[in-house]
Structure 1
Amino acid sequence: MATNNNLRFTEPGMRLLENEHRYLSYLMDDWHSLVLDFERQEMSLEEGREKLKLLRQKLYEFIEPFKNHTEKEEEHFFPVLGTYIGFEQGPLVGIQEEHQEIDGYIGHFFHHTRDNIDAMTLEDLKTVAKDAGEAFEVLTIHFVKEETVLFPMAEKLMKAVDQDELYKKMNTLIT
């Protein structure tokens, strides 16, 4: 996980969200390597089933901190930023849609792996792992968008009193 010296933003609220991105990216790297195994490697059916079970476990460990992070953004950050840039169109709309898209991919993965993985074919395993891969891709781009568009906007546009209040509300653990 990144130290404060590696964070780009100066406002405490943006630093907090950026640091959470670093932690979530660390967790993502852990399960994404398993997704890549399904794309790159020839594996036996038994290896595939074991890898998918491990992928499911890693995604399960990821989902709670991710949900806690997105709830912070949706309950606190987006409403405050929206008072400055609007809610009806623009970057906030796209970012919130991406939250739903990510939830969809991960939800689809969990839906298709909730039953007996040991009954799945190797092709089934590879198909289901693609949902996790899609979630990873959207998440990666999503974090970049937030850090290159939303966070700089917030630092530039938000009044100090709003920045301070936002930090107080968001200064909670995601784990």
Structure 2
Amino acid sequence: MMNKSELRFTKPAIRILENEHRYLSYLMEEWHAIVLLFEREKMSLEEGRRQLDKLRTQITNFMKPLKKHTDKEDRYFLPLLGNYIGLEQGPIVGIQEEHREIDGYIGHFLHYTEGNTDLLSLGEIQAAVKDAGEAFEVLTVHFMKEENVLFEMAETQITEADHKKLSEKLNTLIT
């Protein structure tokens, strides 16, 4: 049985993306713990504001590596894979839509929580935190789809020469 720290794919380019998923998932778990606090515990307005500030900081920090990762996918990986499986319909279209959906949930959360959080009611805080929870859910499923569908296809369908070129382009830090 494979443990969570082992990488599943063999091609260096795909391993880079898979490893980035692991790192992003680790960061997501940290901020998702705060989302779960809001779902499971009744908290005071003061505690809600304190937790919101912490959540906002963690999500803001998370967005930097997430953006670098999705930019690499959108710029290099998806177009290359699209040359093999098509770009107009199928799994790539769905993945690109999910990138926009994730940006939407996180953008909505960040927009409604920017500025002075002392002006937000507990209900407004809880509504904003729901967007962060939705982003977590979409991201979790999104990573699974990429790994179980797109990465599998890429491993078997992309030529060795294209894998090598892709690896060179993807071999950059997201942190």
Establish whether TM, by shorter chain, passes 0.5.
Answer: yes
Q: Specify every segment of 5 or more residues in structure 2 that has no aligned partner in the other structure, as ranges.
A: none
Q: Percent identity?
A: 60
Residue identity in the other structure for 1:14: I
Aligned ranges for residues 95-174 of structure 1 at < 5 Å? Answer: 95-174=95-174
Aligned AA for 1:152? E
| Displacement of 1:115 | 2.5
Partner of 2:62: 62
TM-score for both structures, normalised by structure 2: 0.97
For 1:52, the equivalent position in structure 2 comes to 52
CA distance, structure 1, for counterparts of residue 93 and residue 82 of structure 2:
10
* Runs of 4+ residues deviating >3 angstroms: none
SS of match in other structure, 1:6: coil
| Runs (5+) with no aligned partner, structure 1 | none
What aligned pairs does 1:16-55 form with structure 2 within 5 A after superposition?
Answer: 16-55=16-55
In the TM superposition, residue 72 of structure 1 has moved relative to its aligned partner by 0.3
What is the Cα-based RMSD across aligned positions, in Å? 1.2
Return the letter of the residue paired with 1:116: N
- Over residues 98-149 of structure 1, what are the superposed CA-to-partner deviations in whole Å (9 max), with x where a residue is unaligned? 0000000000001101121111111111100000000000000000000000
What does residue 9 of structure 1 align with? 9
How much does 1:5 deviate?
6.4
| CA–CA separation in structure 2 for the residues paired with 1:16 and 1:64 | 17
Letter in 2 for 1:15: R
How many residue pairs were aligned?
173
